[in-house]
Structure formats: structure tokens, C-alpha cells
Chain A
Amino acid sequence: MPVTTSHTGPEHRSPLPERKQTDVSQVLDTPPSPAEPSPQGSGAATARAAAPTPAELAARYGLTVSGSRPSLPAYVVQLWQRRHFITAFATAKLTAQYSQAKLGQVWQIMTPLLNAAVYYLIFGILLGTKRNVPDFVPFLVTGVFVWTFTQQSVQTGTRAISGSLGLVRALHFPRASLPISYCIQQLQQLLFSMCALVVILLCFGVPPAPSWLLAIPALTLQFVFNAGLSLIMARLGSKTPDLSQLMPFLLRTWMYTSGVMWSIDRMLSGRDIPQIVKLLLQANPAAVYIDLMRFSLIDSFHAGQLPPHVWALAAGWALLAGVGGFIYFWQAEETYGRG
């Protein structure tokens, strides 16, 4: 390779280049706007007079401060462009999940079923929460599957950035792809479980009904809620990896208050419970999504057992978590992978 002689500028020749630019603003928090038009026409005349400062040079050639955050609309566009990556990543992770197990993909269905069996043993038989709840097995299994979707989304979301640092540092893509992708993976997992659920429902004599179609809007809203929560947890988890140690405890507490294995409605009726506690239990997003799914699938689960304004609640939680979580995650976009 011949040594080119293009470096004739003084700044390349002299060792230890010294620059005297006292006028350059060194303030970190005021980077020039990337949208700043490059000085042309009259602006160029003044720029020609003196050697430009690095900031001026950067502005003229459209360079931007390294590691700056894109605007929110631009970020959404970038994310949309990566939609194939998001879905392909989720599918790949799902199939890789049990690749080391001998039974392989059978675990996709076995894991949720075993989960439900354990809860049936403890709560249904030993603690007797099945009293007064008609169709207890479909009731319990629906609760466990729907809850697992939220629980797993939050848990994998917490590690979405901190567990994929290699990928985040090696390649550039909008980081929100990762938590969203993990949520899609959980959604795919849930769809497997739902197939098992349909079989269970039919075995226990729950007739198929048009109301089953309500499961689709319920799941959609729950997915948006989960994705938002997962984005929030991904940002928190990337700053404080300790959170992934703490999350199982918080999630278990949440599960026990969400009526996964008992009916909140039956618990509340006929007891002297402060109104505020009642309200909190009923407005709990996990409980809302679980009850909506039960309402749409199980014929003995009546609308009267749902909290008031349940669809508004479900949509409100989804919107709040989805939009809030996305903005919260985006606000730290440039910091993921640092350190």
C-alpha cells in the first residue's frame, strides 16, 4: 500500500496538534441542532475568512453529535423500519428457548400446563379456593396463562437491554426493538398456551361461543400494556441490573393480589372491606385483563363479576403504559449500552 501524500495540512503533519479555539462553546448540553442548515450563500462568505471551528465544519457537512437521540417521530419511523427484525428476533428466541431440552418444543405447552397443575393442587384442592367458583379448572388455567404473559413480559423486559449488551454495542438499531420483541415472543408463547386452553375448555364442557372472539381485543390491549411495562422495566433494568433480582418478589406479590387463582368478586362480596381497597383490587390492570379473558371464554363467568367500566379500564391502562412506557424508554435511548 503506497503511502499517500494527501496529508499536507498542518494539522496532520505536526505531532501533538495544538488548537487555540477559545471561542468554541464547550458546553456539553447545547449541541447544535442536527437540522441546522449548512451555511451556504452569505454564510459561506464569513466562514471562508477564518478556519472554521469544528462545530462549524460539522454543521456544514451535516455531521451530528455522536450518540445523540433521534426525535420521537423519527424514532417511531426507525422502529417501523425494523419491524422484520423485531418479529424475526422474537421467533428465533422462541424456538431457541427449548433447543437444549430433549423434549424440545413440547415444553412450549408443557410448561404452562404444569404451572396450572401446581396451582390446582395447592389452591384448588389443598386451600379450597375452588368452592363457590363454577368451572374452577378453566377459571384457574385462564388466569394462570394470562398472568404468565404479563409476568414473563415484565421479567424478560427487565433483562432486555442488560442481557443483550453485546448485541446493543455491536449493531445499531432502535433499542426499543428489544423489549418489544421479547413481548412478542411472550405473545407467541401465549398463543401456544391458548391452544392448550381451548382443549381444556372443551374437555371441561365449556361450550364454544361467539364471545370467544372478545379474546382478541382483550389480548391486543394486554399486549400493548405489557409492551409499555416492559419498556419501562428495560430502561430501569439497564441502569440498575439489581432489579432482575428483585422482580420475582414484586411479581409474586402482584400475582397474589390479581385474583389468578381465586375470584376477586367472590372475595369482595359480603365482606367489610374499605372502598379504596376494593377499588384498587378491581382496577388492578392484571386483574382486569384476566377477568376480561375469563368473561370472553367461560360461559359461567358473568358480566356481573367484572369491575365497572372494564373495557375503558383495559384500554386506559394499555394507553397509559404503552405511550408512557415508549416515551420513557426513548428518553434514554442514547445511553443504552454505555458503561
Chain B
Amino acid sequence: MTTKPVLIESRGISKSFGSFLANDSINFDILEGEIHGLLGENGAGKSTFVKMVYGLLEPSNGTFYWNGKKIIIGSPQEARNFGIGMVFQHFTLFPTLTVIENIELALNDKFTTHELRDTIIKKSAEFGITVDPDIYIRDLSVGEQQRVEILRCLLQNPKLLIMDEPTSVLTPQESEQLFSVLKKLSKTGCSILFISHKLKEIKKITQRATILRGGCVVSTVETADVSTEQLAKMMVGSNPQNVKPKTARKSGDILVKISGLNKPADNPFATALYNISLNVKAGEIIGIAGIAGNGQSELMEVLSGEWRSTETFDVFDVFGTDIRNYSPHKRRQLGIGFLPEERHGHSAVTNMKLTENTLLTNHNSPLIQKNNVVKNENLEKLTNDIIDKYDIRTPFRNPQASSLSGGNLQKFVIGREIIKKPRVFFVAQPTWGVDIGATKFIRNSLIDLANDGCGIIVISQDLEELFELADNICVLFRGKLSESKPLQELTSEKIGMLMGGEELHSESQGH
């Protein structure tokens, strides 16, 4: 394999933002026709590095060599001229235009529409990407949109294709399809830089992988020679602590009853919710799977009370009380905790101090305020309790939330809610963008909470997380919620099918 010539080489590439060193002297190379993985945790410096390869950022130091020649990639335009294409995590397609129009917009060369259609059909046949050139982007699924993005890159005959976390928006089945496209592509001699933090994918699809940790290269390995455990160890730096097994919880009384929930889409980008029903028992964790954009944030708005209705919503009882018209703080007073997925500006305000972030969900407590005047001592004490109990690392006393790392801030906001011992807890993406250590900690805290009899709903796109936490899982697809099924009856394939909108036929095919 090493007989292949080197396509691009990174020698001593560094990038600093102010005093923060995001990339420290990155050395590795990508061979022609190789699928090369770039593995690392959130914040390891993967995105910074590929942005430099694609000309979006300029390196502070170091050089790229392209076919052995020193090059400077000054802009994405220049990158494309070298033959570097990139598919971003967040797509850059116009929903109101057709496939062919979107591709036309991105091309430098002038094609006639007729020629372009022929080229698209030819290319898509070559790589098994089936897509109708005249269909509108808004009518495509996320997986299909990603294929259009790839197709758009392919028309420029790239020598290197960068894929930034491509599977984070895909169902397991769609991921498989993507992998087969990428393999065909690499056979034609195109190199692929595949960025991911998912070990199994890296192991499955790449020939070699470079592992980044804290902005430095840990190692470049032949993926066939290492186990996923070894990869994990290199990525995290130490043996990841395991999530504690769930104790067999006896299911208690029904705490939450939801039925007939309909929520119209309030803007063109929102997803409407249709006839959702769901019950949560004491001590039970219900996992809601699904790909982003299928109604997760809308469902969270309903659970937290940021959206309220008694017209299109039949039943929302918690502890037997109808809470359809309860505001978020009234719900908190009832013993309900909730936490939306976005830390920055939703569950926390990053340019406010931690005490103020504590006040965010405690401003109604008589312990914290009297006659509208804040009792600062008690507020500080509560904040310090959260910091101590949930082991939150702060650079100094009472810093702004922005100076905490993502994992620490998430631990803080989760701690802020569960220190109140809620009897019902709704949480979305509890470990999104959080390092492995904090992830384990957070999952353990949720399990502890359920063991104490709290009823929990976890909305997550991370199937691994749901398998670790949930007792029952249902899937949200285009605003509809599937029936909840016990974990034992489910496999990731089955959930994947539901995530892609297919019905499960209870006795079909077997295993």
C-alpha cells in the first residue's frame, strides 16, 4: 500500500488563535487513491486543520506539499484549482433550486444546461449516486442532499475530497451507501480525507488514519492493524471510564402523559409535529432517536413550555396536573427539569457569569430572591454547590460561562437542573460536543437520577448514547413519533430503518 505516491503532505502545519494553539506542528501525508481518516474528539483540532487544507484559514506556520511541490492554498477557489474538494458538515445547497441549478451555480466552467445534465447523469451512474437532476433540493432527504454535494465536488474532478463528519446526519443505512460511493471513488484514484470521531467508521472505511489530540498528531496508523480500543485510547489519551450498568429498575407509576400533540410549523424551516403520544413512568428513561431536523427542537419546546397550546394539544399531564398552559418556571416549580440541546444562548448565556447562569433557572426560588431582589450569598452558594458536586473545572472563581470548556459547561447546566432533584427530567442531546470523560459523567448522572425514581426523556441523535441509557426507545421522523419499544427488542438496524422513515413490520424478516 505504501508504494502509492504521496498526494499531499502537511509539514509542521500550526495554527494559533490569539494565545490558543489549535494545531501544533501537524505532520502527515495522504497517498493517491487512499481513504485517510482524521480522528479526534471535539476540539482536537480536526476542523481547523481541514479548513487550512481547503484554504479557509491560513496556517500560522508550516507548509503543504502537493505532489512534492510546496504550495500555498490561499482560498477555497485556489484549493479547487489544485483539485481539492470539500463536503461540509452543514450543507451549502439552496433548497428552492433544483439539483442541476445548484450544481451549475458552483461550477467555474461554463457548461450548457444540456451538457451539464448529461455529465451529471454519467457521473452519477459511474459512482452509483442516483439522483434526479431536476428535483428541488427541499424535496430531498438529508442523505440525498449529501450525495448532491458529493456529486457537485465530483464534477470538478477532484484529486482530494474532504468529508467533514459526513455520517453525523445520516441513518446507519445511508452511511453504508455513502461508504460504497467513497470506496468506488477511491478506486478511480481520488484520495479522500475522512473526518470523524466515530471509531467504527474509521476502522471500517479508511486504510490509514491520523489521530489528533489537543491539536497534536498522536500517531498515524494502518487501521487494519489496530483495534477500536487502541484507537479510542489514542484519541482520548487514557482508558475511557465506562458507563455504569443500569440497575434493573422497577417501573413505577406513570408520571408523564402526553397524547394528541400537534404543533404546526411556525416558520418555513420548522418541522410540524403530528399526533404524538408518549408516557413516562417513574424510574424510566425513554430515548427519542432521530436525525436532526425531524422535530427534535420543536418537541423540546413543547416539553419545556417555551411553546404552549391547548387547542392543538390534547393531553399533557405531569403528576396528574394539566400543564399545557404552564410557563417554563411554573413547570420547574412543579418539579420538572428540562434542558434544551443548545448551550450557547439557550440553556446558558455564555457572556454571563456562572452565578447569573444559575439564576437563569432559579429566579423564582424563595431561597434565591425575595421581593424581586436577588440574594447574592445564596446564589453564590448554590453555584458553588453545583461546581463542587459535579466536578466542574473553572479557571477562577465565578468566571463567565464562555471560559468553560464545552464539556464543563454542559456538566454545569445539567448539574444545575439535577441538583434540584427533579421528579421528571427532559433533556436533549445531553453529551453533544462534549469530551468522552464528561460524556461518561453525564450519562452516569442521568442513570443515577432514574435510579432515584425520576422519569426521564432523552432526545438524542447518538444511538450509542440511547443504547447506554434508555429503557425504551422511539424514533422521531418528520414530526411523527414511532411507538416506544423496549431496548431488548431493538437493534441499530431497526432503529436506522425507523430513522429513515420506514415502518417496522413487527414480524418481518426476523434477524
A-B interaction: no
Interface set of B (CB-CB < 8 Å, partner A): none
